[in-house]
Structure 1
Amino acid sequence: MSRNDKKDGFDALGEIGVRLGGLFGAVETAIGEIAKAKGEDGKPFKTHVDWGVSVGGVRSGAGAAEAAAERAERKPEAAPRALREPVFEMFEEDDHVLLTYELPGAALDEVALSRDGRLLKLETTGRALFRHQVELPVTIGADAEPARALRNGVLELRFETSKA
């Protein structure tokens, strides 16, 4: 296991701890509200919280409500956007080449294409980051632009080819 794998594992465990801490804080708050309520007989409900868990700074018992309030006031950090390689298919027909890419979360105006000979490069910007490159099966004119359509997160690129 490499250092990066260990670091990623520790980061994941830390994230789990933070999420569990939020869950335990919410449970503590709910139990506190129940403790203030009274049953049908007019007597207060009896509650007991003592789970002895210390994950991500969670406190149980005295001070837990304050810790839950602090967590609730914190703004969540934006998750880093990961660069992904899209699911891709290519179909070669007599008069065109059709490429399909699954790009969930991407908009058509966020898709950038570039070509170098038969090598096609696709990159997206915005919320969803994708990158892919493929060698086209046929040479297409240098200034030929594909027909583009993006429906339900699936991008279709259609390059017309000339019959030889």
Structure 2
Amino acid sequence: MADRTAEVLDATLRCLLRYGARRTTMDDIASETGVSRSAVYQYVRNKDDAVRQVAARLHDGALRHARAAAGGDAPLPDRVFAILSAKLELTAGPFAESPHAAELLDEQARLCGDICRRFTDDLRALLTGVLTAANRPNAEDTAAILLAAACGLLGAGRADLLRRTSDALLAGLHPKDLEGTSI
């Protein structure tokens, strides 16, 4: 028997975006996957498990991109922006159109809040590491400020300002890091 976990999780995501976590049923997931409800239980324990696996998969993918950016040799402002963009990655695509995205992406969400908080903590650690490696003073505080600004912009629907904001914060906190960039 082929492992169809990815198909079940893809179907779960489509249902969540369409109906939200409360209204999505195992029957919806099965129908969207094209299998019986009992077949879905071979891959997930229950609906909550399916929702958590979807959230974890989304956050893990964005974190992989952030880690790749952190480990690169690009200039500091580019690496910082790429790490912060991992937050943006989660809200783009199908989530931009769904009123139910917060159920998977909000740190206060009942089912997935811990996954979201862990993701944010991981981003903060990546930023701190990159800033520390660049010999930036107060790397932990700077990372927290950058993340708070990114979250605020995303919450206000102004993701378009993320690059300018991260560059401006870096310039204000340590101008030599932005030599050669335009704000």
The TM-score normalised by the length of structure 2 is 0.26
Task: Tell me which structure has the larger Cα radius of gyration.
Answer: 1
The TM-score normalised by the length of structure 1 is 0.27
Whose relative contact order is higher, 1 or 2, with alpha carbons under 8 Å and at least 6 apart? 2
> Going by fraction, where is helix more abundant, 1 or 2?
2
